[in-house]
Amino acid sequence: MTSIKEEMWKTRGILFNFAMTDLKIRYKNSVLGVLWSILEPLLMLAVLFFVFSTMFKFEIENFPIYLLSGIITYNFFKNGTTIALSSLSNRSSLITQIYFPRSIPAISSTFTASIMLIVELAVLACFMVYFQFTPSLTILYLVPIYVLAFVLVLGIALGLSVLNVKFRDIEFIWGIILHAGFFLTPIFYRFDMLPEYVQNILQLSPVVQIVEMVHHVTLYGTLPSLNSVLYSVGSIFAILGIGYLIFRRYQARIVEEL
């Protein structure tokens, strides 16, 4: 068993190919298809903006930008893990006919989601221009934050890709978790609006941590606290480790289950 990194280098051609075919199939080979990936978070934004600024009268500064930055960060997490979830089971005909390292689909799914994230970040930039919002230089910290998010998605992707072959209901369970996670993450509300004991529980989630960090560096021009950075790095690499162990446990026999 070679390490993941070695596999990655040996087969970066396959990786690139899978990421591109993922996008092609997703967008049906059309340029117009890419529009859908932008439209989806924007529609979400419109609905949430309407509900929470006119109906519930939340008072959050720069609410559209607050909302959009949270939505696209959560979307990255959602897209990466969902594409990875079915990345092995959808390729059953390929896997039973040609050998390739089983980790490639999970890794390429994470890259596919990253490409989508970059497109969505471009939309966020347009929003900032439109609302005449000038972020401070701390916005450059988005790069390490999203690298951290990438590691998180990769860890979950590795585990889910093999588990979904073994247990077909993981797909539905994960769908519910993602749905609940959206409401339990400070996307359309501010984290400090919650009662303290709820905050204490929710901040255990690395996704909450990442979304909060994104808010810090884009909207407030502040840096996240050292504690939260240390906690996020620790928990995310632990998740990567667990995901890799699950992957390694099941990967050799996965083709017989397909």
Partner 1 sequence: MSENSITVTNVSKKFRVYHEKRTTLFESITGSVNRKPHHETLQVLDDISFNVKKGESFGIVGRNGSGKTTLLRILSNIYQPDSGSVETNGTVVPVLALGLGFHPDLTAITNIYQSSVLLGISKNDMAKKIDAVIKFAELEKFADTKIKNFSSGMQMRLAFSTAVQVDPAVLLLDEVIAVGDLNFQKKCLAVMDDFKKRGKSIVIVSHNPSDIKQLCDRALFLKDGHIESIGEPTAVLESYTNFMNAQDKRPYFKQLPF
Name the residues that contact partner 1, by CB under 8 A.
13-14, 17, 21, 24-25, 91, 93-100, 166-170, 173, 252-253, 255-256
Q: With respect to partner 1, which residue has the nearer C-beta, 94 or 122?
A: 94
Structure tokens, 52? 């929470």
Give the type of residue at 154: L
Q: How far is CA 209 from CA 166, 176, 185, 201, in A?
A: 31, 20, 9, 12
C-beta closer to partner 1: residue 249 or 253 = 253
Q: Indicate the residue among 40 and 171 with the shorter CB distance to partner 1.
A: 171
| Residue 255 C-beta: closest distance to partner 1, Å | 6
Q: Which is nearer to partner 1, 208 or 254 (CB)?
A: 254
For partner 1, the closer CB: 21 or 136:
21
Give the whole-angstrom CA distance, residue 92 versus residue 130. 46
First-residue to last-residue Cα distance in the chain: 21
3-state per-residue secondary structure call for 167-191: CCCHHHHHHHHHHHHHHCCCCCCCH
Shortest gap between Cβ of 252 and partner 1 (angstroms)?
Answer: 5
**Residue 165 and residue 256: Cα distance in Å, rounded?**
10
For the bound state, the minimum distance from the C-beta of residue 177 to partner 1, rounded and expressed in Å, comes to 13
Q: CB of 166: closest distance to partner 1 in angstroms?
A: 8
Cα–Cα nearest to 112, from 65, 142, 75, 137: 75
Instruction: Give least dist CB 93 to partner 1, A.
Output: 5
- Residue 239 C-beta: closest distance to partner 1, Å: 19
Q: Residue holding tokens 């993602």?
A: 178
d(CA 112, CA 106): 10
Least distance to partner 1, CB of residue 86, Å: 13
Structure-block tokens of residue 147 = 């690298």
Looking at the Cβ atoms of 165 and 208, the one nearer to partner 1 is 165
Token pair, residue 7, equals: 């596999």
Please name the residues in contact with 131: beta carbons below 8 A apart, sequence gap of 6 or more: 62, 64, 65
Between 166 and 248, CB nearer to partner 1: 166
